[in-house]
Amino acid sequence: MTNVTVENVWKIYGDQTVLENISLEIEPGSFIALVG
């Protein structure tokens, strides 16, 4: 069972693509840190 799902994320600054088609699944009880 997945607690959090993020699918197909894109981020573009001007003409620079910094994230392209990123997906993430976080299972219950997991600890995740996103730094950026």
CB-facing half-sphere around the CA of 16: CA atoms within 13 A: 2
Tell me the one-letter amino acid at 23. S
Q: How confident is the model at residue 22, as a pLDDT? A: 95
Give residue 34's pLDDT band: very low, low, confident or very high (50, 70, 90): confident
Q: How confident is the model at residue 2, as a pLDDT? A: 80
* Whole-structure pTM value: 0.58
Between residues 29 and 2, the one the model is more confident about: 29
Three-state helix/strand/coil letters over the chain: CCCEEEEEEEEEECCEEEEEEEEEEECCCCCCCCCC
Mean pLDDT, the chain, integer: 92
pLDDT of 11 higher than 90? yes
